[in-house]
Amino acid sequence: MEEKTTTVKSLCTKIDANRLVGLMEGLINTPSVVGYYPQIHEYLEVFAREYGYTVTYDNRHTAYIYVEGENPGQEAVVVGAHLDTIGMVVRSISEQGWLNVRNLGGVNFHSVEGENVYVHTRHNGTYSGMLINQSHSVHVFDDARSREREFDQMAVVIDEDVHTKEQVEALDVRPGDLISVEPRFVMTDSGYIKSRHIDDKANAAILLELLALFAENKIKPAYNTYFAFPINEEIGMGGRYVPKEATEYLALDIGLVGGQQAGDEKKVSICGADRVTPYDWALTTELADLAEKYGIDSVLDIYYRYSSDASAALQADNNLAPACIGMGCMTSHGYERTHMDGVLNTAKLTLAYLLDRSLRERN
């Protein structure tokens, strides 16, 4: 046990913060709105080849990197971070050539209004555009400030010379095309990270950094581990299917900041319950104890308007113990902000979970 403690502490010092930020920025800048996976899966494949891993997929297009543990057996654990982001889907095309949209996931249109967006067509590439309110100008519309910012009051205008429905259709834009949002990634000198899609690509970057760390140091996790990367968490479906041998699902997802939340951008939040379920008592206690053991700055918290891939797995009657951790994140589902300290604390706690299972007797 002392040897394991030493290993965890040593590896925590080897987490490459610069590489982690690079992975985060790369993931964030790769579009992967709910259900749109071609580019992000290519990014994952390139990473996996570099570090000697293989990516597999289930029929729902969740990506997995499987790593055999030091104690290989019939059971396995899942650590997951979803690759999908909130966004929109084309609902219809108006006669003036605007795209009527529906949200995918919990989009806050107040935050996204005026942002650059990208329309992914099935056969003709991607078009840039802008999300606007139907009453888009204070100089033109009396209700420009008061009109609702809901999906049926919003539209996407494509950055092409199109002014009719037929002209838009000639671009091969159709209902069902998916729309991603410009992330605008910024890393400040003081360690703050500002971007859309920190939820959940900051956590996906953590898993990739830990996989790189395992490969470089020839380290195995304590138990067989599936590193899972769902593509439809934002609509509540990401973790509903898991490999049958999984006994635990640790979801890495953002912690919440503000109001009655205990979360902090510089800390890792350990979630005790979300809107769906309390998380597993023993596993959550183990995570809190691991944070204390290794001096990881953490808080216990519960989330009111929130669910994760782990609670989705439980909802789908998977026979496993769920848990959830993640860095505190300001302005979630908007232009988000976190701090590198919170990212590193989340990485360290995940590493401790993967390597040091001595604090709880396993079934």
CA distance 82 to 232: 7
CATH 3.40.630.10 residue ranges in the chain?
2-85+197-355
Active site residue 233: yes
Distance CA 349, CA 352 (A): 5
Rounded to whole angstroms, the Cα distance separating 124 from 126 reads 7
The answer to whether the beta carbons of residues 12 and 348 sit under 8 Å apart is yes
User: What CATH homologous superfamily does 87-181 map to?
Assistant: Peptidase M42, domain 2 (2.40.30.40)
The correct CATH number of 2-85+197-355 out of 3.40.1500.10, 3.90.105.10, 2.40.370.10, 3.40.630.10 is: 3.40.630.10
Render each residue's pLDDT in the chain as its tens digit; 363 residues.
677 888 999 999 999 999 999 999 999 999 999 999 999 999 999 999 999 999 999 999 999 999 999 987 888 999 999 999 999 999 999 999 999 999 999 999 999 999 999 999 999 999 999 999 999 999 999 999 999 999 999 999 999 999 999 999 999 999 999 999 999 999 999 999 999 999 999 999 999 999 999 999 999 999 999 999 999 999 999 999 999 999 999 999 999 999 999 999 999 999 999 999 999 999 999 999 999 999 999 999 999 899 999 999 999 999 999 999 999 999 999 999 999 999 999 999 999 999 998 765 544
Between 198-217 and 38-51, two packed helices, what is the crossing angle to 10 degrees? Answer: 20
CA–CA distance, 12 with 15 (Å, rounded to integer): 6
What are the residue ranges of CATH 2.40.30.40 in the chain?
A: 87-181
Dist. CA 168–CA 98, nearest whole Å: 8
User: What is the distance, to the nearest Å, from the Cα of residue 57 to the centroid of all Cα atoms in its chain?
Assistant: 17
Closest by CA to 198, choosing from 329, 304, 88, 79, is: 329
Q: What is the pTM of this model?
A: 0.97
User: Which residue among 233, 234, 265, 286 is the active-site one?
Assistant: 233
